[in-house]
Amino acid sequence: MSKGSNRSKRTPRSGSISPNVYSAKHGKSGGLAASEHETATLVTITIRPATRRDAAAWLRLRYALWPDASESEHRAEIARFFAGQAREPLAVLLAEDGAGAVLGLAELSIRAGAEGCTSDRVAYLEGWFVVPEARRRGVGRALVAAAEQWGRDRGCTEFGSDTQPDNLVSAAAHRALGFSEVGSVRCFRKALQG
């Protein structure tokens, strides 16, 4: 799944994120195992904040998500983030498998408002991407769960997101994770529970 964003500038990043480990059983089809009769393996996915050593992997994922920007533009934004000079994203979460391969990302911000949301402090999923070969394995779900916790930890009670109107895969992925479509540009909101 992938989603784009308008990537407008926001407030400076702050706070720390602790790594989260998720495990899921996956069957032959690549989705969650439907029954005990299906062959399943346990896959461990770790969600953690991006570090400087992740710059190349982050660049690869970012360029796959937003190919209209050049690699040099993405590289410059990543450098600004690590230098503490980026207004957005405030946080970047990466998903990696047990072998340390980076499978996906979530770029996060806090917005003063978002379509369909009523609070003035909305955790926002600015960018969400999982490499095609790791989709339907719980990676996107784990990234969003960690992003929701990031928002809760910062006092947010709503979680917003958006995607391009023609990105049906992303829209379906959002809905599968409990988002409600609230706008014609496929804007989403989700209440964050305690």
Mean of all residue pLDDT scores within the chain: 82
How many CA within 13 A on the CB side of residue 39? 2
Segment 63-79 mean pLDDT: 97
Strands 180-181 and 2-3: unpaired
Query: CATH code at 140?
Result: 3.40.630.30
Residue 185: domain span? 2-191
Length of the chain: 194
Segment 114-131 mean pLDDT: 90
Whole-number pLDDT of residue 15? 43
**Is pLDDT above 80 for 78?**
yes
User: Cα(27)–Cα(29) distance, rounded to whole angstroms?
Assistant: 5
Segment 48-57 mean pLDDT: 97
Of residues 14 and 104, more confidently modeled:
104
Percentage of the chain with pLDDT > 90? 60
pTM: 0.77
Whole-number pLDDT of residue 42? 59
Strands 180-181 and 187-191: antiparallel
Of residues 6 and 77, more confidently modeled:
77
User: Cα(33)–Cα(38) distance, rounded to whole angstroms?
Assistant: 7
Whole-number pLDDT of residue 191? 94
Counting the structural domains of the chain, the total is 1
User: Cα(38)–Cα(104) distance, rounded to whole angstroms?
Assistant: 26
Strand spans (E) along 27-69: 41-49
